[in-house]
Amino acid sequence: MTLKALIFDVDGTLAETEELHRRAFNETFADFDLPWRWSPRLYGELLKVAGGKERILYYVAHYQAGRLADIAPRVAEVHAHKTRRYEELMGEEPVPLRPGVARLIAEARAAGLRLAVATTTSRANLTALLRSAFPDGDGVFDAIVAGDEVARKKPFPDVYERVLDELGLDAESCIAIEDSRNGVAAARGARLEVVVTPGLYTAGEDFSGALAVVSELGLPARSYEHLAGAGRHDRNVTVEALERWHGAALRDEAPARADRPILLHA
């Protein structure tokens, strides 16, 4: 078996968590008496900036420039409050895993593959999701690296390089599962093949370089929608399919990679 591990992104990949993040940001702004409300359209733009603290600073610099000197020293405090609120919301209103995630993780475990997480989100945010989604919480993964544990966040490859080090594996024996252009850039920067399942806020992004782009991982009774690259004749992203796509890529036999923005059908 050439494939030895799957490495998952979190927000938008394991689960559609971004709306809960947006709500936590907005409620935090209200708690700090900040007259800001991030709409879905604005939040979609802000998501191109990796990291919550960085996102707040970007917003203030571009939309509230007069408040930058006042807000910048408080960003860590505001973001810590937002993280606590996100944890509370996740406990009150758990977000389900995206279709096929639990199935693929179970298949990978049964096949002897190792599992890991490489994410831009904080460890606290990740723990809140995993605690609600898996009986074993973060124990389901063999290695976890969060965005606050590396020097540079996605689109830089730092989280993936750190995960590979912790797994003790080389990039050619692993596949990343992502949902965003930043994630593709980070994974490819670490020389990983990457399969993309576009999320709520990333469906129109350019996934050039991805091995395959599909609407979701798929369920036994529901096929994914094939969007680009490998997998045109498959129904679900399975361990067998990933090994086949991965092996073809190593032999330079894979179908043309994604090379344009992907738009999901309504």
Show the domains of the chain with their CATH numbers: 5-16+96-250 (3.40.50.1000), 18-92 (1.10.150.240)
Determine the pLDDT at residue 96: 96
* pLDDT tens string 133-182: 998 888 999 999 998 899 999 999 999 999 999 999 999 999 999 999 99
pTM score? 0.92
Determine the pLDDT at residue 256: 56
**pLDDT confidence of 263, banded at 50, 70, 90?**
very low
Is 31 considered catalytic here? no
**pLDDT confidence of 265, banded at 50, 70, 90?**
very low
Determine the pLDDT at residue 254: 63
Residue of 9, 158, 179, 234 marked catalytic: 9
* pLDDT tens string 178-230: 999 999 999 999 999 999 999 999 998 999 999 999 999 999 999 999 999 99
Determine the pLDDT at residue 103: 97
Q: How far apart are alpha carbons 159 and 126 in whole angstroms?
A: 14
Residue of 11, 158, 179, 234 marked catalytic: 11
Q: How far apart are alpha carbons 235 and 246 in whole angstroms?
A: 17
Neighbours of 84 (CB within 10 A): 14
Beta strand segments in the chain, E = 5-8, 114-118, 143-145, 174-178, 193-196, 212-214, 226-229
Q: How far apart are alpha carbons 259 and 149 in whole angstroms?
A: 31
